[in-house]
């Protein structure tokens, strides 16, 4: 009988804990409302699903040079245009959007910037409402010169396997980008945080805990440090919802 009561009590505690998850998620997001953004919002339906919970969002975008259009997509165009997202920003001037431009390079950066600037003007969207991210920091330089907030995505394969000499080489390259004046920020997976945290950067830092929900962040020392680090302006978190792509 005692064993049954104990099992019932444990089951009750588990159920109450699960029911409390949405509450704690909302509480953490509200506490860091300007810092915690929703990752991979690759459908406008997902944005609207979470617009009451999160203030700002991130999405993957491809620029199609032949048609001079932007489409949502990570590897391939989805057929979903960027325009509804910009309409959302125009109607909500206090909201922001992180655009991960997957195929931006020096050959298309001027056309992409001109096209985007025209779309913003049509919808009364301020450039300050956007983060423009790319792996190509030289291509981002044009966007920076035109008044956009830009971020270079740092890709460091097998970071845990680098030799001391390779680490120094990587860090020198990162410092070169940071001090180039070409970008406003550096963005990277949270797993790089220990590698980068002690460097003296002259730019902002952006990151993503893409395997963690907002409510989980306080339970991990790295995530807690990231939330408290004033140099890190945005932390992307996951939440799939009903319209995840």
pTM assigned to the model: 0.88
* Residue 5 domain-assigned (yes or no): no
Q: State whether residue 151 is helix, strand or coil.
A: strand
* Residue 15 domain-assigned (yes or no): no
Average pLDDT, the chain: 89
Q: State the Cα–Cα distance between residues 139 and 1, nearest whole angstrom.
A: 70
pLDDT at res. 24: 63
- Looking at residue 184, which CATH number applies to its domain? 3.20.20.190
Per-residue confidence at 32, pLDDT binned at 50, 70, 90?
A: confident
Per-residue confidence at 16, pLDDT binned at 50, 70, 90?
A: very low
* Residue 8 domain-assigned (yes or no): no
Q: State the Cα–Cα distance between residues 42 and 86, nearest whole angstrom.
A: 13
| Mean pLDDT, range 234-243, rounded to an integer | 85
pLDDT tens sequence across 112-162? 999 999 999 999 999 999 999 999 999 999 999 999 999 999 988 778 888
What the block records as the tokens of 12 is 């009750």
Q: State the Cα–Cα distance between residues 92 and 125, nearest whole angstrom.
A: 9
**What domain range is 122 assigned to?**
21-237
E strand intervals along 33-119: 36-38, 57-64, 69-72, 97-101
Other Cβ atoms within 10 Å of 92 Cβ, number: 13
* Residue 58 domain-assigned (yes or no): yes
pLDDT tens sequence across 166-220? 888 888 999 999 999 999 999 999 999 998 988 888 899 999 997 888 888 888 8
Which residues, other chains included, contact 233 with Cβ-Cβ below 8 Å and sequence gap of 6+? 35, 185, 204, 205, 206
Number of domains making up the chain: 1
């Amino acid at each position: 009988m005692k064993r049954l009561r104990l099992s019932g009590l444990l089951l009750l505690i588990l159920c109450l804990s699960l029911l409390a998850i949405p509450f704690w998620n909302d509480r953490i997001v509200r506490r860091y409302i300007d810092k915690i953004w929703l990752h991979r919002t690759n459908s406008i339906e997902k944005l609207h699903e979470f617009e009451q919970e999160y203030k700002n969002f991130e999405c993957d975008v491809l620029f199609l040079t032949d048609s001079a259009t932007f489409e949502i997509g990570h590897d391939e165009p989805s057929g979903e245009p960027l325009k509804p997202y910009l309409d959302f920003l125009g109607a909500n001037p206090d909201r922001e959007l992180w655009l991960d431009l997957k195929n931006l390079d020096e050959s298309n950066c001027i056309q992409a910037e001109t096209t985007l600037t025209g779309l913003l003007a049509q919808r009364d969207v301020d450039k300050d409402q956007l983060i423009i991210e790319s792996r190509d920091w030289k291509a981002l330089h044009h966007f920076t010169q035109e008044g956009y907030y830009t971020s270079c995505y740092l890709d460091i394969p097998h970071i845990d396997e680098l030799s001391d000499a390779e680490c120094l080489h990587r860090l020198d390259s990162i410092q070169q980008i940071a001090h180039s004046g070409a970008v406003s920020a550096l963005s990277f997976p949270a797993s790089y945080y220990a590698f980068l945290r002690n460097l003296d950067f002259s730019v902002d830092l952006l990151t993503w805990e893409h395997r963690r929900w907002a409510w989980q962040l306080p339970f991990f020392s790295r995530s807690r440090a990231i939330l408290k680090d004033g140099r890190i302006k945005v932390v992307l978190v996951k939440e799939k919802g009903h319209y995840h792509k």
